[in-house]
A and B are shown apart, each in its own frame.
Chain A
Amino acid sequence: MQWRRFEERLFRVLMITASLIVLMFLGMIVMTILIRGVPAMNLAMITQTPKGGFYLGKEGGILNAIAGSLCLAGGATFLSFVISLPVVLYLNVYARKNAPFSAFARFSFDVLWGVPSIVYGAFGFTLMLFLGLRASLLGGIIAVSFLILPMMTRAMDEVVRMMPEELLTASYALGATRLETAFRVVIRQALPGILTAVLIAFGRGIGDAASVIFTAGFSDYIPTSLMQPAATLPLAIFFQMGTPFPEVQERAYASALILTVIILAICLISRLLTRRHRRHVIK
C-alpha cells in the first residue's frame, strides 16, 4: 500500500520536473540570445550593408542578409503556396474521400516532411547544375520552396480536412461547381489555418541554413535580380560566428537576435490571426 502512494508522488515530481526542464531550455535559449545580442545591437546592423573589412571588424551591417533572407523566404513561400494550395484543394474537394492515391499523396508529404534540409540543399544543387544555374537567389528560392512545400501542404491539409462535409454538399446543392466551392467556401472557411500554414512555412524558410548553403551563395550586396547570389541571415550568423575576431562574433549575436525577433514575431502574428479570424469560421 505504502509503495503505491510513494510511487504516485515520486512520478508526479519527476513529471513536473521534466516539463519544467523542457520549458527551461526554451527560456535559456531566448535569454542567451537576448543577453548576448542586445548589447551588440546597434542601428547600423539593420540599416547598412557590409562595408569593406566588415568581416574583420570594420563597419557595416547585415542589411544584405536581412533583405536577402526576406526576398528568398518570401519567394520560396510564394512558390510553395502556388503549388500547395491546388494540391490541398485537389485532395479535399476533387478527389474521392478515401481514394488510394490521396492516401499515397498524403503519406508522401508526411515522409517528405522529415527529409533533412541539407538533402534539399544538395538536391537543389543537383538541379541547378542540371539547369546550368549558378548559386543565386533563384537557386535558393527553389531549394527552400522544396523544403517548405511538404510542411505547408501538410499543415493546410490538416485544417481543410477538418471542415465539415455538409458545407461542401450545401454548396453543390446550390449548383456550384467544385472549383467555385473550393475558392468561395473552402478557402474562406479554412483561411486562418491556411494563413497560419503559410506563416509557419515562411518562418522555417527564413531560418534554414543548410538548404541555402549550396544554392544561394553569399553576397555583401542586396540582391537586385534573381540571378545574383544572395546573403541569408542564418549564413551571415554562421560566418560571423566562425571568425576569430571577438567583435565580429559579437555581431553574430546581434544578427541572431534579429533572426530570433523575426521568428518570434511570426509566431505571434500567426497566433493572433488565428484568433481573430475564428469569428467567420463555422464550427
Chain B
Amino acid sequence: MMVLSRLFKDRLACGVMKTLTVFSSLLVFLIILGLFLRSRPILAIKPLSDLLFSTSWHPMRGEFGFWPFITGTLWVTCTAVVIAVPLCLLTAIYLSEYAPAWIREWTAPLIDLLAGIPSVIYGIWGVLTIVPFVKNHLAPLFGCYSSGYSVLAGGSVLAVMIFPVIIHITVGIFQTLPHELREASWALGATHWQTVKHVVLRRAMPGIFAAIVLGFSRAFGETMAVLMVAGNVARVPGSVFDAAYPLPALIANNYGEMLSVPLYDSALLFASLILLAVVLVFNVISRLILIRIERRVR
C-alpha cells in the first residue's frame, strides 16, 4: 500500500508539472492573443498601412499614425547598437583571449551588476550626466542646438544597458571554440591578434551576429530609461540631436489617458503588439543561431 501511494504521488506530480510546463511554454501565444484581441477595435477601423506609416498622431481627433514612434525607436536603438558593438566586441575579445583568469573572475560579476541595475536608475544617470553633456558639449561641437533630450542621449544610455547582454554571449561563444585551434595558429608564428582576427573571429561570426541581434532586441523594448532622456516629441527625428519618441515610451507615458479617449487603449495595445512582434522575430532568429552553434559544439 505504501508503495502504491508513493507511485501515485509521483504520477500526480508528473501530471501537474507537465501541465504547468505546457502552459508556461505557451505563454508567448497567450500574450500575442491577448494583445491582438484588444487591438481589434482599432484594426477594424483603420487600415494597417495607415496605422504603421502615417505620421499624424492626434488621439483626440482619432488619428493614430505610428510612424514617428517606429522611426524614433529605430533611431535610438540603432544608435545604441552602433555605440555598443565596437566597445563590447573589444571587451569580449580582451576578456576571453587576452586577460588572465583573475581579471575575468573579477569583471564578470561587475558586468552582471550592470545588468541588474534598474531602468529608472539608468534614466536618472542619463538625465544627470548624458543629457547635459549632449546639450553643452556634443551638440555645439557639431554646430547643432539640442536640448540634450535626444536620440543620442537615449542611444547612449541604452548602449550601456545592453553591454552585459552582448559581452556575455560573445564571451560564451569564444569559449566554445577549441583551444587547439588557437594553438594551431600560434604554432605557425601568428601573433595573438592575427589569430584572433583570422581564426577566432571568423569562426565566431554567427554567434557574434546573434549577440548583436539580441542586444538590438533588448534596446528596442527598453522603456523607462529612454522615456526619461529621449525627449518624447512625436516627430520623425532628423538627426541624432533631435528628440525622439520611442514606442515603449509612448505606451508608458499615456497609460493614464488610455481609457478616457476612445480607441486610445486599443491603439496603445496595438503598439505593444508591434513591439512584441519585432522583438519576437529578432529573438527567435538570434536564439536559433545560438542553438545551431551549441549543437555543433556538442
Contacts and interface: CB of A to CB of B under 8 A. Distances in A.
The answer to whether A and B touch directly, with their CB atoms under 8 angstroms apart, is yes
B79 interface: no
A59 interface: no
Interface in A12-48: 12, 14-19, 21-23, 25-26, 28-29, 32-33, 36
B107 A19 contact: yes
A64 interface: no
A125 B94 CA distance: 44
Interface string A112-146: 10111111111101110110000000000000001
Nearest to B248: A118
Interface stretch (B42-50, B84-92, B139-147, B237-245): B84-92
B251 A29 contact: no
B87 A259 contact: no
A260 B252 contact: no
Nearest to B95: A19
B125 interface: yes
Contacts of B158: none
B98 interface: yes
A267 B116 contact: yes
A28 to B, nearest CB: 7
B146 to A, nearest CB: 20
A22 B124 contact: no
B279 A114 contact: yes
Chain B CB count within 10 A is highest, among A117, A266, A271, for A117
B24 A87 contact: yes
Contacts of A259: 118, 120-121
Give the interface residue-count category, chain A.
35 or more
Interface in A197-227: 200, 203-204, 206-210, 213-214
Secondary structure of the B contact surface, majority rule: helix
Contacts of B91: 15, 18-19, 22
B248 A7 contact: no
Contacts of A121: 252
A90 B120 contact: no
B283 A114 contact: yes
Contacts of A76: none
- Nearest first, the 8 A-B pairs at minimum CB distance are A116-B221, A207-B118, A18-B90, A90-B17, A15-B94, A122-B272, A210-B223, A108-B25
Interface of A: 4-5, 7-8, 11-12, 14-19, 21-23, 25-26, 28-29, 32-33, 36, 83, 86-87, 89-91, 94, 104-105, 107-112, 114-123, 125-127, 129-130, 146, 149, 153, 177-180, 182, 200, 203-204, 206-210, 213-214, 234, 237-238, 241, 252-253, 256, 259-260, 263-264, 266-267, 271
27 contacts: A17-B90, A18-B91, A23-B107, A29-B114, A32-B124, A83-B20, A91-B21, A111-B287, A114-B217, A114-B279, A115-B279, A115-B280, A119-B31, A119-B275, A120-B31, A121-B252, A126-B38, A126-B269, A177-B6, A179-B14, A200-B116, A207-B121, A209-B252, A238-B123, A241-B124, A252-B124, A266-B116
